[in-house]
Chains A and B, each alone.
Chain A
């Protein structure tokens, strides 16, 4: 090992200041706030444009003389459960356990299966308690919920990628996990806004965006989290 090489490496490190742990923590907190603000902002803009500023929708006329209603306690239950799953998804995607290399591929794959399944099962099982929310709403196949979810999730997706930054191993899989986490956060907004619990609607409007975001996260993760692009 030459002293010249050692001096060169140390000089290169000195020439390029890097943030300490405290600085990274502050930066991540700021990015987290930006993620929350962008998600809430997108949700409010969407609600203003699409439903006369109704952030919380409790029902409506499905077909003439048939109404769909959901009680407030059902909203609290479904949104509360979705928040729990979203928090778990964010913990899974952004936390790295006790290793600098992040969670094992197995954990990330389990997350990719369990997050959409648990969100869907929770929503359906809560809605089964009242039959009305499960009826089909022909005018609402789910495309509006799809766009709401994607719109709300864009900010969190990019912010989570900025927080994660490095993934020397499996960048695409880590990116997909981040996509699922952003999608789970968007599910909360969609759940607040949309009273429909008809399963085909849920699959198109609520579950599909999770997979679209996971795909986008995988592509972005491969590009942004991979070391070769630094």
Chain B
């Protein structure tokens, strides 16, 4: 089992707030939840792991491979990290069809489509039951369909690590319950180490094998699984 080692320090400045993050944890389970109240810095940790916060200092290693190691001058840009992210609200490209969203990570600008890419997209479309939605635009999809497309898009790049940012927070309660079950089944089949950020103990219960708690930018003890 590939482990995720994270030691991060960074400071975020906004006009009304200064936020210090200083976390150190190792996740060894296949699926780990990072749980904390809103504003605790959990999404910040996730963005730093993905390489989206240039001010991050410290170390991030996945299965022994360094994505960030500022003491040794290593800081891979997001595009080279091969970390799949399912964003809060999914952030599907609104001007692209489902199929184009899935292709985005496979085909670089100016590169010709090749058969391997097509097969990979076809496989994802079958795996996530998206056949009938292939040519549809994200705005015409239901919440559950969007979630499947977002997960498939993140997995298209064959990531070494999968990050989920509050994957269920945008949904109302009955739908959340159903999609939580669907997501749990999908993650069960996906053999990629996963870190999931949430504020909801029920997500932890259903989706993760291990849990790390964060509060006010620090890792804290405590089991929130109730």
User: Do A and B come from the same complex?
Assistant: no
